[in-house]
Structures are given as structure tokens and as C-alpha cells.
Amino acid sequence: MLEYDPFSPEVLNDPYPIYRRLREEAPVYHIEAYDSYALSRFEDIWDTSNDSERFTVEQGTSAPQLLSKVLPVFPNLNHMDPPHHTDLRKRIAHFFTPRAVEAFEQPIRSFFRERLEEVLAEGRCDVVGDLAFPVSARVACIAMGFPLPDIPDLIDLVRRFFRREPGVVGMTSDGIEAYEAMQTYVQDLTRERRARGVEADNPVDTLIGVNEIAGSEPPEDIRASHLMLLLLGSTETFPKTFASALFRLWQHPDQLAEVRADPGLLPGAFDEVLRYDMPTQFLGRTTLCDVSLHGVTIPAGRPVLLLYPSGNRDDREFERPDEFDIHRCPSRIVTFGQGVHRCMGVHFAKLEGRILLEEILQALADYTVDEGAIERERTEFVQGFTRLPIEFQAR
């Protein structure tokens, strides 16, 4: 009997066999425990992401909001429908264009080289903790406008927010405390910058300085909620994806040799990692009306989970979807979402991925993954490496 529960041990351990069965047997699956529905096929996820007429994000998008309901829903960009979402997104969209992002290439490259120099003499490092997370957090702070001295504390809060404990369904009490601490941090930051006057040209100060959202001046907690979204969205998933890139290339030495010989293949290789090992397991919508799909009617007011990694392995969209292939070059994936809520950070993620892969493969003639020391995060929301030790010839 097919059973899908995002919190079940089977799904947390390895969701892909269950995702495959969902696509074939129950593409619209009713999760009775939460009276919600899961969509597992690529086209359904793609179409729903583009449908703001029948689906809303204003009831939340994550499990703590839609399923366990342990977190409130603040109307940040992730939880706003058009036209208010459209208006607010326009105010910061120019910070995320390819041209704007390209300006960060040299700072990213320089900082990553500094991090590499610190570990090269050791002959061993943790790709996530020693390299990717510090770079991702620093880039996020510089690009978004968070204070650089706060990086260590912000990294700790973000990791606590996403961490799960065996035997605890969903978020832990410590994760909720970390969320509340982040709320306090961004609220204090909002008050401090508004008090001294917003002058910098970055997304944080732009959102702090917005005088009207949805027809009225936003209160401090709403301003802070937008900053929280920037903080979480720009720091957590990239380190896992970069670690996956090094792991998958190491698993496929022929493809590793190809990208070493031709670095021009690295953007395509990183895109394949984004498809193959997407960290975010789902985001959700809520139906605004009855929606019929594949013979199932989803009643109005029900949460609908979009199982992105399942869509990225759908053989209706991809040939040999369970094979890792740097030459795949798909025309579309759902890793960054789609439609009006497509992730704004896509160009940052791809730039960081290309630069970090170029630099580390140039610096290391060879490397080996210490498989016995790997640590993974296996949660209903995000999965991926939290520790990926590699060994190489020390300099």
C-alpha cells in the first residue's frame, strides 16, 4: 500500500522511491493526517506554480505553517499574492538581475580563495562548514545588506532553524527559539536603520524603507519578515548544493575529468546538480477553489505540497532522470520554483556554484570524499549534506 507522509522515517531516509510511486500511482495524493495534498509530477508542479488564480501563498508555504502550524504566517514576499507581491518584488528585482549579480564575481572569488588557502595546508576540510557556508553567508550579507560582523551568529541561527531531531516531528523547540531570535534580530535591525535613516542601496535597506505595502504603511514585524526571508533564502541551500556537486563529480570520475579538461562545462554540471539533488523537498500553496486534477478534486482551502525533487526526477520530463549527467542541459527544472514566486536568487546561486567549482578544481589536483564522516540533514523541508569531509594532497 502506498503511503506518503513528509515526516515519516521512510521519506526522511530516502524519498525518491516513494516519489516514484507517487508519480505513477497517485500523482495527486491525499495526506489524511493533515488533510492536505501532494503533487509529484513535473507538469503539475510547473502549472500550479504558474496559477495564482486558483492557488494562494497567503496561508503559508512551509510545513510549520501549512501542516504542523507551529509558526505564524507573516506577509513577506513568499506569502503575498499578486498584485501586492508584484509591486513589492519590483522594488528589489534590480538587485538580482544577471548584470547586478555579475558585480559580485570578484568578491566571491577572492573570499573563496582566502578560505581555500586556510585549508590547503591541512590536506583535509569540510566542504560545507569550512568553505561553502562561510562564503554563502558572507555573500548574502554583502549582497543583501546585513552587517558583516553578525555572520557567525546568523549562521548559527539559520542552522538551528533548519536542524531536526530524531523522534521529533517537524521543527524542534530549539528551532522555534532560533526563529524567534532571528525575528528579534531583524526587528532590531529594522528599528535601528529606520532611526538613523536608510541610505544604502541594497535589498535590506530598500525593504526597510518601503512606506507602503498593500495600501498602508507596514508595521515593524512585517518589515522584519521580509528581511527574515532574505536571510533564510540566501544562506541555507547553496552549501548543500555545492557539497553535492563535489560529491557527485567524485562519484563520476569520467565526468569530473571532463569538467577539469573543459571548465566551460561547469555551469551545465552545476545545473545538473540543482536538478538531481535539490535540497528543498517542497513548498506549498492553498486552494482558493475546488481544483480537479487526475480525477481527484482538491477542495477549496486545502494545502497543496509541490514535491520539487520528485518533479525533477519525472521521466515524463527527463530521459533517464535518475542518472547524473552533466551534459543533460534541460530546458526547465523546478529547483527555483516557477511563476511569480520563482526564486530571485537563481543568478546568485549559479554564479557562486560556477566560481567555487572553478576555484576548488583548479586548486586541488585530486580529492577523495571521506564517506565514513559524511553527515546529512534529513528533514521534511530540506535534505542534503551538513558535513562533507574531503582529503587531498596538502600544500
What is the DSSP track for 292-322? EETTEEEPTT-EEEE-HHHHTT-TTTSSSTT
Q: What are 380's three cell numbers?
A: 521534511
Among 71-85, 222-236, 296-310, which stretch is predicted with the lowest mean pLDDT?
222-236
223 Cβ partners below 8 Å, 6+ apart?
190, 207, 208, 210
Alpha-helix runs per DSSP H in 197-295: 203-208, 220-233, 237-251, 253-261, 266-276
Report pLDDT for 326: 98
Distance CA 124, CA 232 (A): 28
Residue 142 included in any domain: yes
**Per-residue confidence (pLDDT) for residue 214, from 0 to 100:** 58
Q: Are 305 and 39 in contact (CB under 8 A)?
A: yes
Which of the pair, 105 or 179, is modelled with greater confidence? Answer: 105
Query: Which structural domain, as residue segments, surrounds residue 147?
Result: 9-391
pLDDT for 271-295, tens place per residue? 999 999 999 999 999 999 999 999 9
Sequence letter at residue 287: T
From its phi and psi, is residue 90 left (phi > 0), alpha (psi between -120 and 50) or beta?
alpha
Q: Identify the pLDDT of residue 357.
A: 98
Is 28 inside any structural domain?
Answer: yes
**pLDDT tens track for 244-275:** 999 999 999 999 999 999 999 999 999 999 99
Q: Which of 40-49, 121-130, 200-209, 357-366 has the lowest mean pLDDT?
A: 200-209
Peptide bond into 17 cis (omega under 30): no
pTM over 0.95: no
Residues 6+ apart with CB under 8 A from 350: 267, 270, 271
In a domain, residue 241? The reply is yes
DSSP three-state, residue 368: strand
Inside any domain, residue 234: yes
Split into its structural domains, the chain has a count of: 1
Inform me whether the pLDDT recorded for 173 exceeds 80. yes
Across the chain, what does the average pLDDT equal?
Answer: 91
Percent of the chain scored above 70 by pLDDT? 97
Residues in the chain: 395
Q: Is the pLDDT of residue 216 over 70?
A: no
User: Is residue 79 situated within a structural domain?
Assistant: yes
Mean pLDDT of 83-97: 90
> Is pLDDT at 187 greater than 90 in this prediction?
no
Kindly report the CATH number assigned to the domain that includes residue 220: 1.10.630.10
- Is residue 3 one of the residues assigned to a domain? no
User: Is residue 4 in some structural domain?
Assistant: no
Domain assignment present for 1: no
Q: Is 249 helix (H, G, I), strand (E, B) or coil?
A: helix
Q: What is the largest CA-CA distance in the chain?
A: 63
